[in-house]
Structure 1
Amino acid sequence: MNHYSHRGYMCNADGINTQCKVLAQSCPESLATKRYVKSCPMSKSAWNAAAEVMNCSAVKQSCASREEFVYHCLPNSYQNRLIEVCAIPTPITFPVCAEYNEGGNIVTENHFTDCQNYNPPCPNRYHSTEAYKYSECYNVGQSSTTSTTSKPTPLTENTFDVFTTRNNTILLIKTTTPLDLPTCSDAQHAQLSLSAIFVAGIFFPVLSILVLLCVYSKNVKESPKDETTHMV
């Protein structure tokens, strides 16, 4: 049986079904405390000082006790912004970076990061409130993988069928469906085509009218000469 964690769950897979137990806990009130910052504390003393300023224990919430609703400063799921937030702490059970997932209002693991070769490296298990120890996890805006390919990863939609057993074990069965989304180039081509049709619909009628006016004006000017010639 394979063991792995996924977005706040510790899962056991036997090749047919997957059984998962909750490690991380979502909290809707957490999102209201979120704020984007340019940098995060990189030492225990700086982390504690920032935690005092944010005063998470004073936030009204029904997710956890006051002691369990604590300060975090973490990258977001896209690894492009840093977030200060009050949230329920999570054990990070792999050598990966911690993140704050805004969609789930949850502190969890980012499995697109492999920080075991960082300086300093992440251990196999650590607490989310100790994320400041692994400074390279905070290099947001840069690629967090070792792949050199420039092709984007296809977007997929993950669907989970959730079942709860009597011993509070969550059974997840996941299916992955590719998302057929329009690309930027498709949208640009469509917009250019509509613009061309619109311009053509105005330009050619106007041009035709101008040509007719020119011909008519020329005929009017030549008419008196023709009459004078006939009289002579």
Structure 2
Amino acid sequence: MYIFSQLTVLNLCLLFFVLHDLMKTSEASDSCDVSKTTFENVDNCPDSEEKIREAAARKNCAAYSNRCSEPDKLEYHCVLDPYVTQKLEVCAYKQNILGGHCTEYNIGGNLIQSSRKANCSSFLQSPCPDVYPSTDAYKYSGCYNLTQTDTKQPKYTTVYRTNGKAMDRSASRKQISVNVMALLIADVTVTLVVL
């Protein structure tokens, strides 16, 4: 019986730490649901700090920020769509863009991210650095020149997290929960067999 109680305590501790980690992860987010309602196709994106300020004032992302879990993170962006066919204005959380790629808004994932289809690190004029904030996308206007008008492209693609994980947050939580439950069931089964 002593072995059973030790394993039960161990299982409860493991469950506590996993659930605590999940709750902590859900507090910080890479996106806000309101972004889905703010994106729109535009013909041109601002290419200077002054034009960015004007466009941001016109878009007025602050009016939507109260509908986000982290209102201060909602900012104006003018970026590519995932297929590099259109330019989009959107109010979204600022992200770090990695790998010398242009910035895109992934509509399906509701996320600002690095565009895997548009590498700008080798541009002759204003190449992208390895890491930059997504709100600085205007500094690499060569990205906007890559767009082609093709409205027949689908609007969704894979979500690439800037921390290297390529999965939807809710799907990853569900998978972790399933794994934890399977682990607990296996531990309890082994404990009962031992007794």
Which TM-score band applies after superposition, normalised by the shorter structure? Answer: 0.5 to 0.7
Task: Give the match's secondary structure for 2:137.
Answer: helix
Q: By how many angstroms is 1:27 displaced?
A: 2.0
Task: Give the match's secondary structure for 1:80.
Answer: coil
Contact 2:97/2:133 (CA < 8 Å) preserved in 1? yes
Q: Which residue of 125, 130, 149 corresponds with 1:124?
A: 130
CA 126–157 in structure 1, closer or farther in 2 if over 3 Å, else same: closer
- Superposed, 1:1-232 pairs within 5 Å as 25-59=30-64, 60-65=66-71, 67-118=72-123, 119-139=125-145, 140-141=147-148, 162=172, 163-164=175-176
Q: By how many angstroms is 1:29 displaced?
A: 0.9
- The letter for the 2-side match of 1:121 is P
Number of matched pairs: 131
Q: By how many angstroms is 1:89 displaced?
A: 0.5
Contact 1:83/1:100 (CA < 8 Å) preserved in 2? yes
Q: List gaps (5 residues or longer) in structure 1.
A: 1-20, 143-155, 166-232
Kindly indicate which of the two structures has a greater share of residues assigned to strand: 1
Task: Give the match's secondary structure for 2:118.
Answer: coil
For normalisation by structure 2, the TM-score amounts to 0.60
Which of structures 1 and 2 has the larger relative contact order (alpha carbons within 8 angstroms, sep 6+)?
2
Residues of 2 paired with 1:49 and 1:102: CA distance? Answer: 24
Task: Give the match's secondary structure for 2:67.
Answer: coil
CA RMSD of aligned residues (A): 2.8
Q: By how many angstroms is 1:105 displaced?
A: 1.1
For normalisation by structure 1, the TM-score amounts to 0.51
Larger Rg: 1
Q: List gaps (5 residues or longer) in structure 2.
A: 1-24, 150-156, 160-165, 178-195
Identity of aligned residues (%): 34
